[in-house]
A and B are shown apart, each in its own frame.
Chain A
C-alpha cells in the first residue's frame, strides 16, 4: 500500500490551520454572550419560563400529532425523528436546570466520550500499527471532537451553567460494553460510526428545541462536521468489509474504487434519526 505521508501531513496541517481559525471565530462570539449569562446566571428557570417551555412541548406534540393515544400509537411504534422527539418532549421540563444548558452539557459529554473512545482506539495494536490513513483520521477526528467539547463548554459557561467534562453515561455504557469485543479495525470503525451517529442525531433533535440562538449556531456547525465523520466512517467500513483496505488512502485510487463507494456515505437523502441513538437533554446534564 502506498501512503503519501508528506501529502497527508500537509493536508492535516492545513486542516489544523482551519481549525485554529474556526475556533478563533467561535470564541470571538463568546464575549457577546456575557450579557445573556448575566441574565441567566444560575441556569434556574423561573416558573414562567418552565410553564412556557412545557407549553412549547405540548404545542410541538400537537403539531406532530403525538398527543394522547396518538403518542402511544405513533411515538412508541414509529421510528425516526417523530418518535425520538416525542419521547423527549413528552417529559416535563426539569425544574433544576434550563433546557439550553442541559443540551449543551449533554453535547459536551458526548464530545468527551468521543475523545476518550478515539484515544483508546489509537492505543489498540491493530489500529496504531495498521492503516496510516485510519490512524491520521482518528487523530484528527479526536482533536476536532476536543475542539467541539471546548466550544460547548464555553457556551455552557456563557449561559451561566456548570461545565460538563465527564463522558455521557448512557453511551459510555455502550462503549464499555463494546470495548472487549474490539478485535479488528472494522469493529472500531463501527463503534466510532455509532458515536458519530449519536452526536449527529442528538444535535439535529436538539436544534428544534434550543431557545438561545448562539447555542443553535454552534451546535448546527458542529453537527455538520460530525456528519462528515460519519460519512467517512461509513465509506471506510464498506472498504474494510469489501477487503479493500489499500483504497483507504488520501489520495486514493479513484478508478479502483467500487461503484458503491459513491453512495455508501449517504444511504438516505435525509438524515434519519434513530430514537435509540439520541442522548436526551438530561442524559449528560450536570447533576
Chain B
C-alpha cells in the first residue's frame, strides 16, 4: 500500500468520523422527538394532524380497515401516524430538491438527484395508500406532517449546506419511518394493513441502504432491524 493510498484512507476515515458525529448530533433531536411520539402511545389517534372531520373508525369498506375479529380502529390510528410521517418525508425531499435546484447544496451528483426524486415519489405513493385506507373507512385524509417531528426536521434542515448533510437528514427520516412500520406490524389487525405496512417498511429500509452507500458507509449495517427510533 502506498503512502498516497494511506493518506486517502485516513482522509476518508476522518471525513466519515466527522460525518458520523454531525449525523449523531443532528439525529439526536429527531430521535428524541420520535421518542416523545412513541411515549404517547399508538392509542393517541391525534398523534398526526389531520384536516377536516370524519366519522369514527367503523367501516363498511372492503379495505384494510375492515378486519374480522381485529381492532379496525387501532389500524386506523396507526394509518394516521404513518400518513403523518409520509407527509413529512414528502415535504423534506421536496425541500431538498428545491435546495438542490437553487444551488444551495453545491454540486449534486446525478445519482443523488435521481434518488431524491425516486424517494419523494415513493413516499407520495405511501401517503396516498394510507390516505386511501382512511378515506375508505370514512376518515379524513392526513395532509399535515407529523406535528412533533416537523419542527425538529425544519431546524435540522436549516443547517444543511451540502449533499452529505441532506443525505444524513434523509437517512434519519427513513430510519424513523422504517422502524415505526416494523414496530407497529404486530399491532396491526388486518392482513391488508400488515401487508401495506410491511411493503413500505421494505422500501424505506432500501432507501437507507442507498443513502448509506452514498455517504460512504456500509449499506447493511445491522443484522436485525431495530425499533429504537420508531415514532409509534
Contacts and interface: CB of A to CB of B under 8 A. Distances in A.
The B contact surface, by secondary structure, is helix
Contact of A266 (B16, B112, B118): B118
Contacts of B139: none
Nearest to B6: A6
Interface in B199-232: 199-203, 205-210, 213-227
Interface string A248-287: 0011101101111111011011111000000000000000
B53 to A, nearest CB: 28
Contact of A22 (B191, B194, B199, B222): B222
B118 A254 contact: no
Interface string B1-31: 0000100110011001000000000000000
Contact of B191 (A208, A216, A258): A208
A263 B114 contact: yes
Interface stretch (B94-102, B120-128, B145-153): B120-128
Interface stretch (A30-38, A153-161, A224-232): A224-232
Given A232-B213, A270-B203, A140 B198 contact: no
Most chain A CB inside 10 Å of its own CB: which residue of B5, B109, B198: B198
A73 interface: no
Contacts of B198: 204, 207, 220, 223, 271
A18 B213 contact: no
Contacts of B225: 220-225
Contact of A4 (B9, B199, B210, B221): B9
Given A6-B9, A207-B198, A220-B201, A140 B220 contact: yes
A272 B112 CA distance: 24
Interface stretch (A8-16, A171-179, A184-192): A8-16
B52 interface: no
Contacts of B219: 228, 231-232, 250
Nearest to B115: A262
A141 interface: yes
A269 B120 CA distance: 10
Contact of B195 (A204, A227, A268): A204
Contact of B205 (A213, A225, A252): A225
A182 interface: no
B69 to A, nearest CB: 8
Contact of B224 (A65, A225, A261): A225
Interface residues on A, range: 35 or more
A15 B116 CA distance: 26
A214 to B, nearest CB: 8
Interface string A130-167: 00000000001101100110010000000000000000
A7 interface: yes
A89 B217 CA distance: 41
A269 B218 contact: no
Contacts of A144: 220, 223
A254 B224 contact: no
Contacts of A141: 220
Contact of B199 (A19, A204, A235, A254): A204
A222 B206 contact: no
A257 B109 contact: yes
A153 B8 CA distance: 44
Nearest to B226: A22
Given A235-B210, A265-B210, A255 B109 contact: yes
A220 B223 contact: no
Contacts of B119: 266
Contact of B111 (A227, A257, A271): A257
Contacts of B195: 81, 85, 204-205, 207-208
Contact of B114 (A231, A252, A260): A260
A186 to B, nearest CB: 19
Q: Which of A205, A221, A235 has the most CB of B within 10 A?
A: A221
19 contacts: A7-B12, A11-B218, A19-B223, A22-B226, A23-B224, A59-B69, A141-B220, A207-B185, A217-B185, A221-B182, A223-B225, A225-B220, A250-B217, A254-B109, A259-B113, A259-B114, A265-B209, A269-B122, A270-B126
Lowest 3 CB-CB distances: which A-B pairs, in order?
A251-B216, A262-B114, A262-B115
Interface of B: 5, 8-9, 12-13, 16, 62, 66-69, 107, 109-119, 121-122, 125-126, 129, 178, 182, 185-186, 190-192, 194-196, 198-203, 205-210, 213-227
Given A204-B202, A250-B218, 18 more contacts: A6-B13, A7-B13, A11-B218, A12-B218, A63-B192, A221-B224, A229-B220, A250-B219, A251-B217, A254-B109, A260-B111, A261-B114, A262-B111, A262-B112, A269-B122, A270-B129, A270-B199, A270-B203
